[in-house]
């Protein structure tokens, strides 16, 4: 179960990405990955111009977290 700090970070990510429909995904990410990894990934996603994003910023964030999460971003 997510702590208050984890819930706050998940809400912050959802707000930044305007992706509140994926709140459960964001919660699972903050429970599994380090805050620094998620913040770096979020900054990377937010730096991409809108016209270069195929689907949504939320989809790009999910893709990058799952693709790069094994490279030291995991809490395990």
Which residues pair with residue 33 across a beta bridge?
Answer: 74
The pLDDT averaged over each successive group of 10 residues in the chain (76 residues) is 92 96 96 95 96 95 90 62
pLDDT at 72: 60
pLDDT of residue 76: 55
Domain presence at residue 15: yes
For residue 2, what pLDDT is reported?
79
Q: What is residue 1's predicted lDDT score, i.e. its pLDDT? A: 79
Which domain covers residue 53, as residue numbers? 4-68
Total domains in the chain come to 1
Residue 29, pLDDT score? 96
Residue 16 in any domain: the answer is yes
> How far apart (Å, rounded) are the C-alpha atoms in residues 57 and 68?
16
User: Would residue 75 count as lying in a domain?
Assistant: no
What is the model's pTM?
0.88
Sign of the CA dihedral 16, 21, 27, 2? positive
Task: Examine residue 73 and state whether it is found in any structural domain, yes or no.
Answer: no
The DSSP code sequence of 3-64 is -HHHHHHHHHHHHHHT-GGGHHHHHHHHHHB-HHHHHHHHHHHHHS-GGG-SS-HHHHHHHH
76 located within any domain? no
Structural domain includes residue 32: yes
Report pLDDT for 69. 80
């Amino acid at each position: 179960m997510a702590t208050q700090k984890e819930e706050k970070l998940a809400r912050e990510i959802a707000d930044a990405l305007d992706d509140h429909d994926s709140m459960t995904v964001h919660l699972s990410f903050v429970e599994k990955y380090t805050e620094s990894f998620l913040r770096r990934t979020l900054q990377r996603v937010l730096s991409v111009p809108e016209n270069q994003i195929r689907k949504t910023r939320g989809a790009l964030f999910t893709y990058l977290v799952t693709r790069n999460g094994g490279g030291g971003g995991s809490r395990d």
